[in-house]
């Protein structure tokens, strides 16, 4: 394991939403502040100079006292070592939260599906819109919005992003739900929608000088994608187990009898603390194999033979949520990737922006972007 540059605390598996595309299993597990303190203190000598500390759930605002206690501990004992991030569905976001986030320089990710929010949770539309307005007013530089689109909602993609821009939100991301099949007709709609979105982004760039779609800024640089789980990233889950990335818990955490559980779990907190000195060579070796050139799709086409290898990045867990096997990619994911690359590739140079620092932050903290672009 290298020096740790990203830690995720999944505070609880409770959520007040039941989004149709969410892979998490809900429950009543909640971390205690002692668990979090032990976890952070134990890793003290293994941390990089700057570490992203992410709060995640469930819905993390359901565990608000835990967020505040963790920040107090981190600031008292780790002297500016951490940069905080938090992902929220926004439904519980009040002024007091935003002022706290602003004071502690959080990078927030608001999960808000714009025009598709009614398909996600019809009752939440007004509350989340209100939260997004509050964020724009009180902490305009501190947040990005991520919208998820499925085959059912993809016809709304371009109009939804345009509406968010009109409302004054300037940092947008979109995610395609790659856990469900995309038919040929869905893919054709997606291609059209992305084409429209690129034109909207270009117009916005011409008018404001800013690039609103954060993925457009991440197209530079080629290389073979490697999953960073268990290399320089760890996650503490609400049942007190430690994994290389919180997504492994969604895939494996509820089936201990699955042989992959032992391959990727670092154990419960006590076991993790006891074993850290030796470094978990077997588990880290398993994580080290999660790289794009070792993956293949359901048709048994090897990524290492694909022309797009160095421009592709597929999260192996998101792929496995669809195929059932790590490193096996559903055929529609290849098609989604190719369409996004084709459409986004064209105006990327014209749209590239100087906001590297923030985008690096997104890259480091937002590894769960389903489309990986
Ligand atoms: S497009 Fe498909 S086959 Fe090619 S690298 Fe990406 S996932 Fe692998
Ligand atoms: S989000 Fe996916 S690719 Fe990124 S670290 Fe986690 S498992 Fe790996």
Q: 290-307 as b/e, with b when 16 or more CB fall inside 10 Å? A: bbbbebbbbeeeebeebe
Hey, which of 228, 248, 327 would you mutate to test ligand 2's pocket, going by the most ligand atoms within 8 Å of its Cβ? 228
Q: Using the mean position of ligand 2's atoms as its centre, give its distance from the Cα of residue 99 in Å.
A: 30
Provide the 10 A C-beta neighbour count for residue 236: 26
100 CA distance to ligand 2 centroid (A)? 28
**Per DSSP, what are the bridge partners of residue 1?**
none
Q: What is the pLDDT of residue 81?
A: 95
Q: Which atom of ligand 2 is nearest to the CA of 225?
A: 3
Per-residue pLDDT tens over the stretch 39-74: 999 999 999 999 999 999 999 999 999 999 999 999
Mean pLDDT for the stretch of residues 310-333: 95
Give the pLDDT confidence score for residue 361 in this predicted structure: 37
Higher pLDDT, 365 or 179: 179
How many CA atoms, within 13 angstroms, populate the side-chain half-sphere of residue 186? Answer: 17
Q: Which residues have CB under 6 Å of ligand 1?
A: 292, 295, 297, 301, 303, 306, 308-309, 312, 314, 329, 334, 337-338
351 falls in which pLDDT band (50, 70, 90)? very low
Domain around 142: 4-223+347-365
Residue 235 lies in a domain: no
Dist CA 167 CA 145 (whole Å): 12
Flag whether 238 is in a domain: no
Query: At 348, phi and psi to the nearest 5?
Result: -60, -40
Q: Is residue 202 part of a domain?
A: yes
Rounded-to-integer distance, Cα 294 and Cα 317, Å: 14
- The CA distance from 39 to 236, in Å, is 8
For residue 194 the two structure tokens come to 């992305």
- The residue nearest atom 4 of ligand 2, judged by CA position, is 367
| End-to-end CA gap in the chain | 26
Asked if the model's pLDDT at residue 218 lies above 70, the reply is: no
Neighbour tally for 229: CB within 10 Å: 26
Let me know if 361 is exposed, middle or buried by CB neighbors in 10 A (0-12, 13-18, 19+). Answer: middle
CB–CB of 57/11 below 8 Å? yes
Mutation test residue for ligand 2: of 227, 286, 322, 337, the one with most atoms within 8 Å of CB: 227
With respect to residue 25, please indicate whether it lies within any of the assigned structural domains: yes
Mean pLDDT of 116-135: 95
How many domains does the structure of the chain reveal?
A: 1
Q: If you take atom 2 of ligand 2, which residue's CA is the nearest one?
A: 315
Contact yes or no for 300/294 (Cβ under 8 A):
no
- CA 331–ligand 1 middle distance (angstroms): 9
Q: What is the DSSP letter of 12?
A: B
Q: Is the Cβ–Cβ distance between 231 and 287 less than 8 Å? A: yes
Q: Judge if the beta carbon of residue 54 lies within 6 A of ligand 2.
A: no
pLDDT at 360 over 90: no
**pLDDT interval class at 364 (50, 70, 90):** very low
Residue 363 has pLDDT above 50, yes or no: no
Q: Report which bound ligand comes closest to the CA of 233.
A: 2
Query: Is the residue at 268 inside a domain?
Result: no
Give a yes or no: residue 149 inside a domain.
yes
As beta bridge partners, residue 107 has: 85
pLDDT band at 133 (very low <50, low <70, confident <90, very high): very high
233 inside domain = no
User: How many other CB atoms are found less than 10 A from the CB of residue 32?
Assistant: 12
Instruction: Please indicate whether residue 372, judged by its CB atom, sits closer than 6 Å to ligand 2.
Output: no
- Which residue from 87, 215, 212, 91 is spatially nearest to 162, judged by alpha carbons? 212
Residue 4, preceding bond cis, omega within 30 degrees?
Answer: no
Q: Are 252 and 235 in contact (CB under 8 A)?
A: no
Confidence of residue 355 (pLDDT cuts 50, 70, 90): very low
Segment 273-301, tens digit of pLDDT: 999 988 899 999 999 999 999 999 999 99
pLDDT at 347: 52
Indicate whether residue 367 lines ligand 2 (CB < 6 A): yes
- Whether residue 285 contacts residue 200, with contact meaning beta carbons closer than 8 Å, is answered with no
Q: What percent of the chain has pLDDT over 70?
A: 91
The 10s digit of each residue's pLDDT in 253-263 is 999 999 999 99
Give the H or E element holding residue 346: helix 331-351
> Is residue 321 in a domain?
no
How much is the pTM? Answer: 0.91
User: What one-character-per-residue DSSP string does 82-124 give?
Assistant: EEEEEEE-STT--HHHHHHHHHTT-EEEEE--GGGHHHH-GGG
Map residue 13 onto helix, strand or coil: coil
Ligand 1 center to 282 CA (angstroms): 27
Q: Is 245 in the pocket of ligand 2 (CB under 6 A)?
A: yes
Q: What is the CATH number of the domain that holds 152?
A: 3.20.20.70
Least confident residue range of 26-40, 83-97, 350-364: 350-364
Q: What share of the chain is helix, strand, coil (3-state, %, to 5)?
A: 50, 15, 35
Spatial separation of the C-alpha atoms in residues 310 and 222, rounded to whole Å:
5
What is the per-residue pLDDT for 350? 45
Six-digit token pair at 178? 């790659």
């Amino acid at each position: 394991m290298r020096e740790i540059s990203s830690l995720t605390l999944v505070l609880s598996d409770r959520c007040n939403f039941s989004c149709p595309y969410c892979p998490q299993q809900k429950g009543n597990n909640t971390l205690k502040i002692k668990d979090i303190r032990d976890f952070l203190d134990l890793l003290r000598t293994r941390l990089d100079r700057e570490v992203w500390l992410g709060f995640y759930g469930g819905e993390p605002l359901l565990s608000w006292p835990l967020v505040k206690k963790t920040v107090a501990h981190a600031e008292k004992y780790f002297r500016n070592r951490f940069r905080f991030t938090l992902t929220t569905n926004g439904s519980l976001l009040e002024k007091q939260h935003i002022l706290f986030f602003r004071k502690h320089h959080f990078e927030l990710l608001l999960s808000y599906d714009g025009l598709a929010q009614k398909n996600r949770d019809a009752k939440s539309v007004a509350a989340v819109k209100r939260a997004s307005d509050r964020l724009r007013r009180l902490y305009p530089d501190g947040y990005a919005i991520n919208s998820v689109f499925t085959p059912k909602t993809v016809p709304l993609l371009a109009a939804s992003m345009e509406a968010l821009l009109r409302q004054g939100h300037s940092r947008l991301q979109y995610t395609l739900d790659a856990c469900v099949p995309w038919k040929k007709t869905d893919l054709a709609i997606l291609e059209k929608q992305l084409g429209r979105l690129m034109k909207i982004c270009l117009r916005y760039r011409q008018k404001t000088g800013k690039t609103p779609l954060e993925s457009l800024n991440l197209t530079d640089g080629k290389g073979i994608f490697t999953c960073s789980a268990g290399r320089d990233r760890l996650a503490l889950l609400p049942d007190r187990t430690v994994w290389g990335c919180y997504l492994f818990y969604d895939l494996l955490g509820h089936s201990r009898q699955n042989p992959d559980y032992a391959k990727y779990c670092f154990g419960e907190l006590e076991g993790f603390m006891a074993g850290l000195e030796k470094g978990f060579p077997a588990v880290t070796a398993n994580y080290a194999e999660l790289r794009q050139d070792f993956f293949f799709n359901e048709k048994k086409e090897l990524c290492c033979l694909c022309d797009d290898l160095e421009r592709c990045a597929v999260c192996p867990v998101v792929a496995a949520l669809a195929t059932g096997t790590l490193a096996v990619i559903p055929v529609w994911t290849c098609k989604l990737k190719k369409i996004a690359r084709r459409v986004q590739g064209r105006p990327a140079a014209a749209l590239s922006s100087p906001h590297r620092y923030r985008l690096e932050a997104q890259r480091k903290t937002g590894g769960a972007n389903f489309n990986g672009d």
